[in-house]
Amino acid sequence: MITLQYIRENKDEAIERLAIRGLDATETVNAIAATDIEKRKKQTELESTLAEANSLAKEIGNLFKSGKTDEANALKAKTADLKEREKVLQVEADELEAKIYDLLVSLPNTPALFVPKGKTPEENITVFEHGEIPILHEGAKPHWELTTQYSLIDFELGNKITGAGFPVYTGKGARLQRALINFFLDEAGAAGYTEFQMPLMVNAASGFGTGQLPDKEGQMYHATVDDLYLIPTAEVPITNMFRDVIVKADQFPIMSMGYTPCFRREAGSYGAHVRGLNRLHQFDKVEIVQIQHPDKSYDTLEQMKEHVKGLLTKLELPFRILHLCGGDMGFASACTYDFEVYSTAQQRWLECSSVSNFETFQANRLKLRFKDTDGKTKLAHTLNGSALALPRIVAALLENHQTPDGIKIPAALVPYTGFDFIS
RNA sequence: GGUGAGGUGGGUGAGAGGCUGAAACCACCAGUUUGCUAAACUGACGUACGGAGUCAAUCUGUACCGCGGGUUCGAAUCCCGCCCUCACCGCCA
């Protein structure tokens, strides 16, 4: 969530930046600022009352000790009135604070000023394109036919065991999964990220820390008996390692990554766009996360973008990078680049990675801070990106690299698969 | 699942109604000494939110000893509820 301090000091800029999302936040921002002034006044009043009560209590203690019981009892009577006032002021101050909090959490992150204005996906800007869209042979097939033809994925079997969206990978299909995971992990490792194997379930505090709770509760599988949530992405456990942590400025950048399965309920999805591997309830992903000094976080965002570019290039897939417009960005992001790989047989772009800078939005909830060189404690910036999510990469690999005789495996992947062709 | 013990600052750990925002030790930071390192010595050393301020330095108030409530003039300390951790037993990859 946006920090109160930011709104206090940069009211107009906050409104300007939120407008990039197509959101007129004037009223909310002004209400926050006004309530803040009111709350501080109330707090001052409450605290001076408490101070009075504290010094009175001290006095009473001293009187009792020196045997002046009568005087002590006389003072005791005075405290009753203070207690009354305390209670009322406390309630009022709490209410004001709750109001500020509710308003603050209702606001999405302020986009960076250079984020394109816009409300719809059509207003996203393509900032980079790479690779030729292949011309496929006559009778080229979409991936959901290829996976069946070459016995790579058994969707029906997954249906039987669990349900739709939980495919079973078989034989070379399973091996391809493992190969991609290892390839992505090795690439991230070489780029300087430390690998983690994280729990696949998290508690509510972690869900809150990265912003899945309370708003997106319905998107996660919830194990109610133990009140744990299946992670929708490794971002949740990895980022939450740093919840309530104060790091030192010289530790930046903190680069973490990990492979996990991801679980998403995807309530409300339907139709052809969820066919095959396009949208699943369980899928594999390698996630990269960085924690960085505010001054350097946008350089880091570029660096992460380059990393993902490298992966797609090595996999010989045609892709493009979109700079998301304000209105198409996630709630918590200040700047997001989406990577889309081209699915030739489906003739459409599939999102396969999303790299974002959250600035202090997540750190504020997480209480993830650092001690700056000036000795002050400040909120750090968090960034993350998929590097990469498997299903749509598999879809694109199969479709784009298909030949009449089978599927070619890109050279970079062959050491991991152990085969260079699927037939 | 059963039984027991326990949650105090970055860490270890004392405190058992007022003298405690909290001893001591360790770590960290600054300084002195030293050819370097080490050692020794000295000092500083929690977080959040307010107020004052030449908005920097600094001074000052409040809250915080797992979380929430209660008793009391006064709670880390007493009472109630909850959460978590550890140990042992049982079961088990």
pTM score of the predicted model: 0.91
User: Å between A338 CA and B41 C1'?
Assistant: 59
- Measured CA to CA, the distance from residue A182 to residue A88 in angstroms comes to 60
Which SS3 state, helix, strand or coil, does residue A248 take?
Answer: strand
Residue type present at position A362: Q
Strand B within 7 A of A48 CB? yes
pLDDT single digits (tens) A356-412? 999 999 999 888 888 887 778 889 999 999 999 999 999 999 999 999 999 999 999
Is pLDDT of A272 > 60? no
What's residue A390's pLDDT?
95
Per the structure, the residue whose CA is closest to nucleotide B51 at C1' is A44
The ipTM of this complex is 0.86
% of chain A at pLDDT higher than 90? 68
The CA distance from A276 to A263, in Å, is: 16
Strand partners, A292: A381
Q: How high is the pLDDT of residue A242?
A: 87
Residue A61 CB lies within 7 Å of the nucleic strand B: yes
Before A253, cis peptide (omega within 30)?
yes
Tell me what pLDDT residue A269 has. 61
A290 Cβ contact partners less than 8 Å away, ≥ 6 residues apart: A253, A254, A255, A256, A300, A304, A382, A383, A384
Whole-number pLDDT of residue A117: 96
Provide the 10 A C-beta neighbour count for residue A301: 23
Between these two residues, A244 and A234, which has the higher pLDDT value?
A234
| Statement: the CB of A79 is under 7 Å from strand B | yes
The backbone region for A192, taken as left when phi is positive above 0, alpha when psi lies in -120 to 50, beta otherwise, is left
Instruction: Out of A205-209, A220-224, A301-305, give the one with best mean pLDDT.
Output: A301-305
The percent of residues above 70 in pLDDT, for chain A, comes to 98
Neighbouring residues of A182: CB distance < 8 A, sequence distance ≥ 6: A416
Tens digit of each residue's pLDDT (9 = 90 or more) over A18-47:
999 999 999 999 999 999 999 999 999 999
Which residues have a Cβ under 8 Å from the Cβ of A328 and sit 6 or more positions away? A118, A119, A120, A121, A123, A124
Residue A112 φ then ψ, to 5°: -60, 150
